[in-house]
Structure 1
Amino acid sequence: MYSPPPDPDTEQRMRAHHAHTAKALDVQVEPGAEFWGWAGRTLGAPAHTATGMPAWLRLVSAPEDKAAGKLWDGALDAQHAFGDLDGHRPALLAVHDVVDDGTAYRAELSVRVDEPVLSDDPVLQHDPQLPDSWWNDLAGVLEKVAAVDTDRVAVRQQYMERAIPEFVGIPAPTVSCWTTAHADVHWANLIAPLRLLDWEGWGRAPEGYDSATLYAYSLLQPDTAARVRAVFPVLGSPAGLAAEATVCAQLLQTVSRGDNLTLADPLRGWSEELRCRQSA
C-alpha cells in the first residue's frame, strides 16, 4: 500500500471518481479505509453491496489513449477465463468505465477477502508455516491456470533473448512448453486459506514460470524455498530451465535498478546454478 499521491489534484480527482463509481454501482464504501496504489494510479476501499455482501471497490485510471491492453483488461479477462477458481480467486462482480477530461477510469467491484496477505512485502521475510493442504491447493490452482487457453502474453520471447544473456550469462534456453501463468505469484498476493490476488498481468509464459517466481521471492527463507521446489518439481528440471532463467533475469534486472536489493546475493547464486545446468 502506498501513501496518497503528492499531487493534491490527483488525490481529489481519484476520490471524487471513486465516490461517483460507488453511487453508480449502488455500493456503500466503508468510511476511513482507503488503499492507494503507486502514484495515485489506483484507489481501493472496502465496501458493501446493496444486499450487504462485503466487496472491494478498486478504481484505476490512465490517459484515455492508454486505457487498453493486457494490464487494463487483466481482471476482467481473468473473470471470463477462470471465474473464482473454486473460491481461490476473488470473483469480479461488476465493472464500470468512465472517461472524463482525457482520463479513463475503470472501477472493478470484487468479492472482498478479509484475511491478510501472507506478507506485506513480495519478498518473504519469515516462515509462513503453511499446512500441506495450502500447498496442495496452490499447486492445483496453478495447474488449472496453466491449462487455460489464451492469446494474452505475460513473457515475450524477445525479452528472454535479450535479458537472460545479459543478467544470467547464458543464451536464452529453448522453451519446451508455453503455458498460461498468473505471472505475479509472490507472497504479497497470497492469502491463507488460499486466495490468489492481482490478476492484471496474466498470460502465456514458459512452463514453470509461476513456481519459479514464488521460488525467487522465497530465497531469503531457505526452508520455504525448498518447499516450493518440492511442491513444483518442474523447478530444477530441463523443462523448467527457461522459466527459471527468465525470472532470475527479471529480478536481477530490478536489482540493477536499485530494487529488491536483499535478493541480490541469492539471485546471483541462483544464476550460477542455472549456468551450470545450461552447460551440463
Structure 2
Amino acid sequence: MALSVSTGQDIDLRVQPVAEVLDRVERSLQVRLLPNTAVRKRRSVGARTERDTWVRIERRLLDKITSQGWNGTECAACLEGVAQPAWQGCVVWRDANGSVLWRADETDLLPDPPVGNAILSRAPGLLDEWWEALNASLDALASHKTSRVATPDTVIITQALVSESIRGVFSGDFDTTVDRWMPGHADLNWANVTAPVFSLFDWEDWGNAPLGLDSASLWASSLAVPALADRVRHERRSDFESRDGKLMTLFVCSKILGPYAHPEDPRLEPARRMAEQVIDQLEGG
C-alpha cells in the first residue's frame, strides 16, 4: 500500500501527513504509539510507546544511504562504556515508489529530557558529574574499532570533504590532512544529549571520523553562550590542543561562516575569532 507521505525531494515531516507511516510501525513492532508524545522533525518522527519505550522513525532517500547500510542505532548497541538508551529492535521498509527507505528503531526511554535545541542561547547549568559522564562516554567511544564511516548531515566524511570545506572558507599556508581517525558520534549537539543525567542518543550517523569532530561540534553549538563554549573547550582540551582538533575546529567554523551563513547568527563573530587563532597556530606549527 502506498504511503500518504510524498516521496519527492522536498519533504518536511513536521507538516507532511504521517498517519499511515505510524500505523505501519505500530503493526510491525506490535506496539501502540502515544500521539500526545510525538516529536516531529524535518526528516524524522518520534514518540513514546505504551510499553515505556521510544520509537524514532526516519525517512531517507536511497542515494543518502551508503554501502555500510543504515543501521547506526542498531550498531551503536555494542558500544561499551557509552551512556545511551538501550536498543530494542527495528523495522525497515522501502517506499512504494522505490526511492525512499523508512526505518523505525525502538529504544529505552531517555533518562531525562534533551538539554535543549541543537544551538543553545542560554547556559543549561550542568553539574560536574554531567561533564564527567560526557568525557567518559566520548573517550570510551573513541577506544572502539569500527568499519563504519561517519556521515554528518548524511554526507560521508572524507579527507576530501574536510579539505574542501576548510579551503572553501579559509585561506592560509597550512596542511589540512587529518592524521587520526576514530569512532565518533558525528551529530553531537545539545539536542542529542540529556540532563541532568547524561545520555547520548540519535546514533544514525556515527562511525570513524577525524579526532575532535564531536568536541568541535559541541563547541560550535555552544558559541552563543561564551561560558558554555569555554567549558566545552576546557573539558575536551586534549582534542582541541591536537592538530586534528584544530582542523575540526576550522571544519565546524566553515559551516557557520560559509556561503549559507545567517547574518544574525550570534556564533559568527566568535567563530571568526577562533578560526583566526587556529589558523595562526597551524601556520606557526
Distance 2:63 2:271 in 1: 37
Residues 57 and 176 of structure 1, relative CA distance in 2, 3 Å threshold: same
Aligned to 1:179: 182
Distance 2:12 2:160 in 1: 35
1:57-96 deviation per Cα after TM superposition (whole angstroms, max 9, x unaligned):
12223456765556832222222x416x45x211221111
1:144 equivalent to 2:148? Answer no
Distance 1:260 1:144 in 2: 37
Aligned to 1:72: 70
3-state SS of the aligned residue for 1:195?
A: coil
Residues 46 and 169 of structure 1, relative CA distance in 2, 3 Å threshold: same
Is contact 2:120-2:221 (8 Å) kept? yes
Is contact 2:186-2:213 (8 Å) kept? yes
Q: How does 1:118-133 map to 2 (within 5 A)?
A: 118-119=115-116, 121-133=117-129
1:80-136 deviation per Cα after TM superposition (whole angstroms, max 9, x unaligned):
x416x45x21122111123341243221111112622111x2122111221111111
Among 220, 228, 235, the alignment partner of 1:231 is 235
Is contact 1:3-1:36 (8 Å) kept? no
Offset at residue 188 of structure 1 (A): 1.2
Offset at residue 243 of structure 1 (A): 2.1
TM-score, normalised via structure 1 length: 0.84
Residues 238 and 33 of structure 1, relative CA distance in 2, 3 Å threshold: closer
Residues 272 and 66 of structure 1, relative CA distance in 2, 3 Å threshold: closer
3-state SS of the aligned residue for 1:191?
A: coil
Distance 2:143 2:160 in 1: 23
In the comparison of the two structures, how many residue pairs are matched?
263
3-state SS of the aligned residue for 1:98?
A: strand
Structure 2: 5+ residue stretches without partners: 1-10, 151-156
TM-score, normalised via structure 2 length: 0.82
Offset at residue 230 of structure 1 (A): 1.6
Is contact 1:215-1:229 (8 Å) kept? yes
Distance 1:99 1:238 in 2: 42
Residues 113 and 71 of structure 1, relative CA distance in 2, 3 Å threshold: farther
**Percent identity of paired positions between Structure 1 and Structure 2:** 28
Q: How does 1:244-259 map to 2 (within 5 A)?
A: 244-253=249-258, 256-258=260-262
1:47 equivalent to 2:43? Answer no
1:111 equivalent to 2:114? Answer no
Structure 1: 5+ residue stretches without partners: none
Distance 1:26 1:42 in 2: 20
Residues 172 and 97 of structure 1, relative CA distance in 2, 3 Å threshold: same
Higher strand proportion, which one? 1
Offset at residue 212 of structure 1 (A): 1.3
Distance 2:114 2:34 in 1: 20
Matched AA of 1:225: A
